[in-house]
Structure 1
Amino acid sequence: MSPPLVLSRNSLSFSRQPIYEKHFILALNIEIFRGGLNLSFVGGVDVGATSTKSIIIDFKGRLLGRGIGPGVNPFTMGYEAAAEIMVKTLSEAMRGVCEFKDLACVVFGSTGLETIKSRELVKSLIEKKSGISKVFVVTDSRIALEGALGGGEGIVVYAGTGSFAIGKNARGDVHKAGGVGFLMSDEGSGFYLGHQALRAAVRDLDGRGERTVLTRRVLDHFGVEIPEELMPKLYVKPIDTSAIAALAPIVTQAAEEGDRVARKIVESAAGELVNLVEAVARKLNMTALEFPLASAGGVFKSELIHGLFCSMIKERLPRAYLIEPRFKPVIGAVIMALKNAGISVEKGLLDELEASQRRLVDIP
């Protein structure tokens, strides 16, 4: 039997290895290199309202490039402009690493694209602008799920300015609760806490509600003396939900100090977040199962809210066990990209992704 014949050229090695004594197979072993024929890269893009983050990794999970761009709001800027920012931010991560044609798959997880129609439209625009052969556009909650659980099953609950819970069961079914904006949802979020504080302050001053330290603290926060002076600050177009959510730490601090009204608001917020998780668990037939539950978002930085949430979860979903999110959402996007490129995401690759994530300390 003849020994294998190996020819090397420009980091490509062609191995001719015998199958039987007189028959050979030509195996193409593609190594990571810059330029030329190469589909050993995938990309992930986390498209948020504040900023857009992108990364490029190889099939072994090694971080090769990253980019940061402006935030995106498809409702106000339009789909064309949103897609342009997504592609430009991706190209920042690709600089000096690869070209669009070298990408086996890219997953974009975006805010503001909750309908299939909107995601398909943006996908089409990205494909036209980049020529990438395999593009997936999903919601930002979807990549948060994949990142927090490392691509596995379980539930993630998020409470920042807004709120939602999203989960995946062993069959791969996915369900989300909440996350459709402050007018229709966002219970338990920073906005919810701030909004309830504003209402409590007005009721206190009107004489319709219980006295609370929140009244003075809310007015001082905005630099006003009476609620009427708040109106031009709050009733603007579009409504600045983050300005209202900024009241959340004031509420949690007052609750920790023993203010009864603030305590009721905090308990209500924790209960609403548990409701989100329970709704997802019911839809996915997971209420009687053991599953990981990850919590994320600024609201959970409050030890009081986190503690109340954990206690309520133990009562209502006793087999759920709490974990810290394993990866950032942008890593969740590349996990999805790897799977869609046909790469098995197992322990060794996940460990390498953790090493890559440690290099993303400046990307939230």
Structure 2
Amino acid sequence: MAIKLIADSGATKCSWILLENDKKTKVATSGLNPYFIQPVDISNVLSQSLLPKLKNKNVDEVYFYGAGLDSLENRKIMKKVLNKAFLDATIEINTDLIAAARATCGHHKGVVSILGTGSGCAYFNGKKIVQQQNGIGYILGDEGSGAYLGRKVLQYFLYKTFDEDLMNAFEKKYNSSRAEILNNTYLKPFPSQYLAGFSAFLSENRGHYMVENIIEDGLNDFIVTHLYKFREAWTMPLHFVGGIAYAFKDVLKELCNTYELELGNIQKQPIEALASYHQ
């Protein structure tokens, strides 16, 4: 039986599962998004963080799904790097939207969305994606994502929109100055991950009306801006993948009920379902 390696990479981390007969080996590494990390650094992550844990297994097939692979050039980069790491393996490169679709829809039709550090959505016909809303990044878009919600948290803090309780809670948790926040946002690498980290503040302060407003407004922006572009959204289940979708699934359910949309599967991470798909 072929030894298969499946990977699901976001902007922040990459989850791997090695399938060998009935045995599963799980490995986690840093995210491998070609938009943010150079090929040599991707190779270093593979050689230092992944391959030693696979114990020199002779992998036959690699299925790599990830953020930043919507461009042909980035897919070529990733395939070239993986070919060097797994010399005898067949390599298949796919986007994170394909990962979400295969994980939630299997071989059935559906509209699938990613709400993680970034966001995106697509209509899947059971075999391939035939329409998608391409993300435009954390500065111009990514509505409903962790970066989008985290940015709102920082706005409320820096503009002193939060009431006294939330201002105190923020200061106690993060102990960050205005200068430090601006420096991390505008000058340091990986600002989208930095912004997304502040979405945790929302999870920890559920029930406060300001927090609930930020969550609901952010997810509503995603539905109206993106899901409304698909006529299939009104007739087929809406599936979601990602930490934000999973953390705030109650809000998604409420919004779908309000708009009379059918809520489908919500998965925090698609890697287990992808392993089953390829098994």
TM-score, scaled to structure 1 = 0.62
Q: Is structure 2 residue 35 aligned with structure 1 residue 79?
A: no
Which residue of the other structure, out of 262, 270, 276, is the alignment partner of 1:328? 270
Mapping 1:306-321, distance limit 5 Å:
306-318=249-261, 320-321=262-263
Q: Quick check: 1:221 aligned with 2:183?
A: no
Cα distance change of structure 1 residues 107 and 210 upon mapping to structure 2, 3 Å threshold: closer
SS at match of 2:131: strand
State the 1:182 CA deviation: 0.9
Question: Aligned with 1:99: secondary structure?
Answer: coil
Match in the other structure for 1:109 = 65
Determine the structure 1 residue equivalent to 2:235: 289
> Which stretches of structure 1, 4 residues or longer, exceed 6 Å deviation after superposition?
87-90
Is contact 1:287-1:317 (8 Å) kept? no
**Could you say if the C-alpha distance between residues 49 and 330 of structure 1 is closer, same or farther in structure 2, counting changes exceeding 3 Å?**
farther
Counterparts of 2:203 and 2:49 in 1: how far apart (Å)? 37
Q: Distance in 2 between matches of 1:72 and 1:171?
A: 25
Tell me how far 1:77 sits from its aligned partner.
3.8
How much has 1:169 moved relative to structure 2? 1.9
Give the CA deviation at 1:79: 2.0
Indicate conservation of the 8 Å contact 2:123/2:132, yes or no: yes
Name the counterpart of 1:274. 223
User: By how many angstroms is 1:286 displaced?
Assistant: 1.4
Confirm whether residue 250 of structure 1 aligns to residue 201 of structure 2: yes
Paired amino acid for 2:259: R
Q: Secondary structure at the match of 1:152?
A: coil
The Cα of 1:287 is off from its aligned counterpart by: 3.3
Aligned to 2:123: 167
- State the AA in 1 paired with 2:114: Y
Instruction: Out of 323-332 and 160-169, give the one that drifted further.
Output: 323-332
1:194–1:247 contact (8 Å) kept in structure 2: yes
Please name the residue that 2:113 is paired with: 157
Structure 2 letter corresponding to 1:162: G
Q: How far apart are 1:119 and its partner, in Å?
A: 0.2
Give the match for residue 344 of structure 1. none
Shifted more, 106-115 versus 152-161: the winner is: 152-161
Report the AA paired with residue 79 of structure 1. Answer: P
* Unpaired runs of at least 5, structure 1: 1-31, 33-39, 339-352, 354-364
Contact residue 135 and residue 142 of structure 2 kept, 8 A: yes
Confirm or deny that 1:131 pairs with 2:73: no
Between structures 1 and 2, the one with greater helix share: 2
Q: 1:50 to 1:82 in 2, by over 3 A?
A: same
The equivalent residue for 2:147 is: 191
CA contact (8 A) 1:108 1:138 kept: yes
Identity %: 18
Aligned-CA RMSD value: 3.6
The reply to whether residue 265 of structure 1 matches residue 214 of structure 2 is yes
